[in-house]
Amino acid sequence: MVGVPKLNPADAAAAVRNPLAFIAARWTPTPRTVQRAALAALVMSVVIVVTGGAVRLTGSGLGCPTWPECTDGSLTPTSALSYHSAIEFGNRMLTYVLCAAVGWAIIAARSEKPYRRSLTRLGWAQFWLVMSNAILGGVVVLVGLNPYTVAAHFLLATALTTVAAVMWQRTREGDGAPRPLVGKAVQQLVWFLVAASLLLIAAGTVVTGAGPHAGDSSEVKRIPIDWETVAKLHAVLAWIVVTLTFALWFVLKAVDAPKGPSARTRDLFLILLGQGVIGYVQYFTHLPELLVALHMFGSCLVWIGVLRILLALRERPETGLDLPGPSAEVTVGTRA
């Protein structure tokens, strides 16, 4: 058993003033621990999207008809409510798990030696995105699952996944100036892929807002367009993304690019094939809930795959110019 150091009044005061600096002065995580913390935040950003989809697909979007309480006068579901309330409330509780994962990532990044301000900022960016989306989730309930707010809710969750993926990548590289691994033409092709993928995701939210899964059994407003027409546009955009990915894979092989970008492009191509199969099957089988949920999970994997390609186009070596973090010696003593 490792003894717990005794805290004197000065330590307690320092912990209250700046708890992150207090922890950083007494704990130095390994690089692997920081990487795992960032990965946990990324995984939870995907989990919250999938469980949010489950709320909509089971018609539980208004299972807790108010916010931040579940019902007027009760933070939790009451016995008078249905299982829809438990599903909606469970998804709300997962937000705390997500906050814990993001908090762990922030603490690990802040405690790493040498201190890397860029990692801490990415962690805090995730925290504020979680808070913003929690508030927007409450607005979604209060406006009766308005499809435009639901779409914004998903897009903000995608932004969270983006920052989490970037932080995960940054934990595995240094803070040196980025050096490109491929030429300008390949970089431009990848940015076309990123743009097409963003359009694909946006079109998917429109399909959701116009489609039959409104999120509740009551009369819920839908986007007033034919969802099948938008679904066909979504499919066209998907084929554009697949074509760009295949073209990128071919170009990377032709120019003998480093293994990293080629491997990640191959991975994205395989993910897109699986996602395409699910998409067509769900369309011709009239959108069964399970396949829609798998498609939502696949959309997260597609976007993460695109980001991993973009981030693999450069390398960031270690640098000897890392500066220590904000000095905690004045308040909490010498760093461990």
- The answer to whether 288 and 329 are in contact (CB under 8 A) is no
Q: Is the pLDDT of residue 287 over 80?
A: yes
Q: Which of 267, 46, 327 is nearest to 168 (CA)?
A: 46
Q: What percent of the chain has pLDDT above 90?
A: 60
Distance CA 123, CA 115 (A): 13
Q: Is the pLDDT of residue 3 over 70?
A: no
| Residues 94-142: tens digit of each pLDDT | 999 999 999 999 999 999 999 999 999 999 999 999 999 999 999 999 9
What's the gap between Cα 292 and its chain centre?
A: 19
Q: Is the pLDDT of residue 214 over 80?
A: no
| Residues 4-53: tens digit of each pLDDT | 556 666 666 656 567 888 888 889 999 999 999 999 999 999 999 999 98
Q: What percent of the chain has pLDDT above 70?
A: 88
Which element (helix H / strand E) includes 179? strand 179-180
Q: Residue 327: what pLDDT?
A: 39
Q: Residue 74: what pLDDT?
A: 80
| Residues 61-83: tens digit of each pLDDT | 888 888 888 887 788 887 666 77
Which element (helix H / strand E) includes 180? strand 179-180
Q: Residue 72: what pLDDT?
A: 79
Q: Is the pLDDT of residue 1 over 60?
A: no
Q: Grade residue 323 by pLDDT with cuts at 50, 70 and 90.
A: very low
Average pLDDT, the chain: 87
In the chain, where are the structural domains located?
Answer: 23-175, 177-315
